[in-house]
Structure 1
């Protein structure tokens, strides 16, 4: 069933709910919105042998897009099974077409090695198909991480690049979360398989069949754990790229600020030179304003008298005041600079 009626809060057909003994609590919002769960119900006869066995479990797989900015895909898959010594049935809800193809190929390759007499016989190919989907999910995130790592040599990153980095990190977090829940779910199944094996007095043939199921489940758990570690690696690599991008920008800004500081230092030296020259001319200018009277007199020629310049005999007063004041001003500035340096 490709339509995810479970997540969409729709009701299954009454015949399906009755056939698979779907309990009411599984249909509550808590279970519908969960990222995974596992539950079971075992019915025993008067002799203590398993008469029927029902399971309900849910898993999620997220596929990242090939290019950042595209739409990602969530697959919320719910599985319900009903087993009795004569027959085993499984209802798959919300599974995509790719899962159906994976399950068909898995059944063709594995079913000859799976004993059909165990309650969890059909769970082995189901989990194997889920492992394949999780593998594709992890590698879809890994491809994005690798493309980001190859692109790190770009001279600068903009706002869109940082949004893409954080978007990729979100994919990696979701992939890691769904893998962790998958591991917990399959481990819960494994514990129930061991419990059934310990409680039931099985013949040699049934014990061998139970052992085969256990070995298959154990192998699948190891594979899921390996994928979980790769997913963790994807998260760490993305965080490393984000830190590197921030550090590169900080270093670039630091170099820009250093150049601006050096330019400001040069401008400050030029301005200081202008200020010194201004201070040197300020006292004479001030005195010129005070002594605005003319110290020079020009007499044009008259008849046989040639033109001439005459200087006031008091012209020495200007220099007597201008030179000391200029020296005093310059000396005060030099003294203040030395004091700042100390």
Structure 2
């Protein structure tokens, strides 16, 4: 038999006990106020809660479809009223996601996907918490200790207040973990060079910041929808009783305060995201500036090489005429040993053979070079 962890009040404290599903839903044995904590996230997985819990909390069938299982948050509720306009029962369902990133900007992170289903009647209230981690359980217990005892425990959304406080604490830890990543990046911006690992770290941090901002934004909208429903119940109660429902207004005041806290965290989360984008842009600009300096140095080196080549070409041109002349006079067309009875030096009558071979070959070489230059330009 599967046992569930149940958090309920005993004497002046809240205690944890393991109970079967029958003990949780049976009116005779179930505590008047209870949180049923389910660590396994059966809502996100391709499974369903046990039929007894689905029936007890009246979980709509459409919430068990993949569209809502994969969603990053929602809120829905159903109420029934008597003929006198007074509230008789209230069911609500909402979902919250929180991403916990490692503070060293590594790729390790943890997703907390939590779904809550509540059932309220005039004599009891229960909330089914699916996907509850040890962190949420500890935060929920701390929030219950701080719960004001002056608020009546029969209000439909009273037990939602500690849950919202615990979720806020988890979002706070999530936002500050991203902030630590941002701070570490900002401290290392003075490094002369950045390796590929540094860019991977920054982009991993930006991914965490985007997810944190997204889930926090949805949580704000979810709690605001909850607040609107509380205000609606307060209006219905005022119409039925003719008096101001102070208890519901107190609950609404608590929820409104929590919404302001979530908005503050949302602004910090947005700041984290923008600061990371600013650091990424700065890093890319620094790399571009470094590459520009390298290209400048390469251009200076090429300029120096070009000057050296010009010097070599000048020296070559200086020695080209003497080289040409020495090549001409070293041929057998010339004789510097005069024959007997003659003076001076003599030139062969076949000297024209050299010119008739050299000139066409030179023209052919120039033509080939000119053709290749035009082909490359086209």
Q: Which TM-score bucket, shorter chain as reference?
A: 0.7 to 0.9
Which residue does the alignment assign to 1:256? 294
TM-superposed deviation, 1:163: 1.3
CA shift for structure 1 position 113: 4.5
8 A contact 2:202–2:280 mirrored in 1: yes
From 144, 168, 178, give the equivalent of 2:181: 144
Tell me by how many angstroms 1:115 deviates.
3.1
Q: TM-score, normalised by structure 2?
A: 0.76
Q: Does 1:80 align with 2:117?
A: yes
Correspondence for 2:156: 119
Contact 2:85 2:236 (C-alpha < 8 Å) held by counterparts: no
Alignment partner of 2:305 out of 267, 276, 281: 267
Q: Secondary structure at the match of 1:38?
A: strand
Alpha-carbon distance change, 216 to 14 in structure 1, aligned in 2, over 3 angstroms: same
2:278 paired residue number? 240
Which residue number corresponds to residue 223 of structure 1?
261
Give the alignment of 1:1-342 within 5 angstroms. 1-201=38-238, 207-292=245-330
In structure 1, runs of 5+ residues without a counterpart are: 299-310, 315-342
Secondary structure of 1:110's counterpart equals coil
CA distance in 2, matches of 1:125, 1:114: 13
SS in 2 for 1:90: strand
Calculate the TM-score normalised by the size of structure 1. 0.84
Contact 1:295 1:312 survives alignment (8 Å): no
Q: Is the 8 Å Cα contact of residues 89 and 120 (structure 2) preserved in structure 1?
A: yes
Shift of 1:200: 2.1
Gaps of 5+ in 2: 1-37, 347-378
Structure 1 residues 119, 22: closer, same or farther in 2, change over 3 A? same
Question: Deviation at 1:312?
Answer: 5.3
1:335 aligns with none
**Aligned-pair CA distance for 1:70:** 4.7
Bigger CA drift: 66-75 or 121-130? 66-75
Are residues 219 and 132 of structure 1, via their aligned partners in 2, closer, same or farther at CA, if it must alter by over 3 Å? same
CA deviation map 1:67-118 (0-9, x unaligned): 2335200000000000011111101000111111111111111242433232
| Distance in 1 between residues matched to 2:79 and 2:297, nearest whole Å | 75
Count of matched residue pairs: 303
Give per-residue Cα distances to partners, 1:96-155, cap 9 Å, x unaligned: 111111111111112424332321111111101110110000001101111111111112
Report the Cα distance in structure 1 between the residues aligned to 2:88 and 2:229, rounded to whole angstroms.
16
Say what the alpha-carbon RMSD is for the aligned residues. 2.1
After superposition, give the CA deviation of every residue in 1:177-198 in whole Å (9 maximum; x if it has no partner): 0000000000001111111111
C-alpha distance in 2, partners of 1:97/1:204? 44
